[in-house]
């Protein structure tokens, strides 16, 4: 479904991309971006039976989150939040101290 929607939006001149069931749109003008979001994207998602999720970022931002990382598009940086570093450190310590473990312990 997302593949078809992305193709449709691109044919309308909307700058967009997706990864599995996540997608983004971009435009250098905030007002046009908001128009595209409200009058094209939201309506197409609703028509397609898809629900607008509250887990994503629907307001224009230059620091979107992707897989828990912060993408700072102004500075061209990927920021790893402290809580993600703590979780990764715990997983590595667990991995270093065990000879066998379940993969889900690292998730």
- Higher-confidence position of 48 and 13: 13
Rounded to the nearest 10°, the torsion over CA 64, 3, 35, 39 is: -130
Question: How far is 85 from 80, CA to CA, in rounded Å?
Answer: 7
Give the strand pairing for 15-19 and 77-79: unpaired
pLDDT digits (tens, 9 = 90+) for 26-37: 999 999 999 998
Question: How far is 9 from 80, CA to CA, in rounded Å?
Answer: 31
pLDDT at position 106 is 65
Q: What angle do CA 101, 96, 99 make, to 5 degrees?
A: 40
Rounded to the nearest 10°, the torsion over CA 28, 13, 47, 52 is: -20
- Higher-confidence position of 7 and 52: 7
Confidence tier at 16 by pLDDT (50, 70, 90): very high
Question: How far is 14 from 40, CA to CA, in rounded Å?
Answer: 10
Q: What is the CA radius of gyration of the chain?
A: 18
Confidence tier at 83 by pLDDT (50, 70, 90): very high
pLDDT digits (tens, 9 = 90+) for 37-81: 888 888 888 887 776 667 778 889 999 888 889 999 899 999 999
């Amino acid at each position: 479904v997302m593949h078809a929607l992305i193709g449709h939006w691109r044919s309308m001149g909307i700058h967009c991309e997706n990864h599995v069931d996540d997608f983004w749109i971009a435009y250098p003008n905030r007002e046009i971006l908001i128009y595209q979001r409200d009058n094209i994207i939201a309506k197409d998602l609703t028509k397609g039976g898809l629900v607008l999720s509250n887990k994503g970022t629907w307001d224009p931002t230059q620091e979107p989150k992707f897989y828990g990382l912060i993408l700072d598009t102004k500075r061209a940086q990927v920021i790893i939040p402290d809580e993600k570093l703590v979780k990764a450190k715990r997983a590595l310590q667990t991995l270093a101290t065990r000879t066998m473990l379940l993969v889900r312990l690292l998730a």
